[in-house]
Amino acid sequence: MCVVWGTTYLAIRIALESIPPALVGGLRFSVAGAVLALVLWLRGTPLPDRRSWPALLLLGTLMIAVGNGFVVWAEQWVPSGIAAVVIASSPFWMATTEAIIPGGERFSRRTLIGMSIGFTGIVLLVWPELTAGGEFGRQFAFGMIALQLAEIGWSLGTSYSKRQTRTGDAIAASALQMFFGGMVMLVVATGRGEWAMLSFTPRSLAAELYLIVFGSFAGYSAYIYALKYLPVSTVSLYAYVNPIIAVLLGTLLLAEPFGGRIVIASALVLVGIAVVRTKGREVEPGSRNSEGHAPPSSRFRVPGVTRLFGR
């Protein structure tokens, strides 16, 4: 899971060589969602009833169309490794979202310290490009804004998902969430006239197929398997591994910038994430809380609380 999801940033960058941005994500998630739903239907697994479709559509819009779509948009100008490091800081936005919504978790001193460390790393990571000036500087700034919008969409979807209490098959609901999110992106692509600009090269086609097969199917299956047999705290370690793999692949295969500044900045971001995420001991799957009930993570929610499909 760590290896595959760490490579999706590189695959997105390569797919963008000939596929317009909204179509990169739209084709990926609509095809993956439709095929997964078909497989489940053939196996006799019921899909979510239509009463849950509006919630799945909202989650697909927030977490797929916005959360993943803006990452694709940003990678037109932002190196894949830098994009992965910035996206890894999504716990900061999640903590902020929880702090401002009614009934959410307030900031703790540890959270504020972690966010300060992490944002210092992000500033160090992107400051030279942001201040470069000219067309490059403007495009890089647009990319960074897109990454922040992606994190906001993901955080809003996470907060909404955490408050859902629907029952049913999690994989089936995820299939519809992917499909709905992909269809929203295809609507955007149609509105932007991207179909007329669509073309495939061997590299871009291979990258798009990789995102569908490995980024969605293999990565997601590994995630479900890991959650079944490993503690949540262990599974969540992929958030620290993904940026490292993305930076290394971007440097080795696409000659993206790499140096001491990027290493130090990335380390600060990861340290900040670790501080924010270690607010308290997590309840492991299958355990009971102080009231004798199974924790929310062991009951089905509309998927999306964790980054199920990488980037």
In terms of pLDDT, which residue wins out, 178 or 103? 178
Looking at the chain, the whole-number percentage of residues with pLDDT higher than 70 is 83
pLDDT of residue 193: 96
Nearest residue to 158 (alpha-carbon basis) of 180, 177, 182:
177
At 266, list the tokens: 């990335």
Interval 58-93: pLDDT, tens: 989 998 999 999 999 999 999 988 888 888 777 777
Distance of alpha carbon 138 from the chain centroid: 24
Answer with the residue of higher pLDDT: 147 or 136: 147
- CA-to-CA distance for 291 and 80, rounded, in angstroms? 45
Give CA 110 to chain center in angstroms.
24
Hey, how many other C-beta atoms are within 10 angstroms of the C-beta on 83? Answer: 28
Q: What is the 3-state secondary structure (H, E, C) of 243-299?
A: HHHHHHHHHHHHCCCCCHHHHHHHHHHHHHHHHHHCCCCCCCCCCCCCCCCCCHHHC
SS (HEC) of 114-175 = HHHHHHHHHHHHHHHHHCCCHHHHHHHHHHHHHHHHHHHHHHHHHHHHHCCCCCCCHHHHHH
**Which pLDDT does position 207 carry in this prediction?**
96
Hey, where are the domains in the chain? 2-280
CB 197 within 8 A of CB 20: yes
pLDDT at 285 over 90: no
- Check whether 297 has a pLDDT greater than 60: no
Q: pLDDT class for 281, splitting at 50, 70, 90?
A: very low
Do 63 and 176 contact (CB within 8 A), yes or no? no
Give the predicted TM-score (pTM) of the model: 0.80
Segment 283-302 shows an average pLDDT of 37
Distance in angstroms (rounded) separating the CA atoms of residues 96 and 62: 17
The closest of 212, 196, 242 to 204, measured between CA atoms, is 212
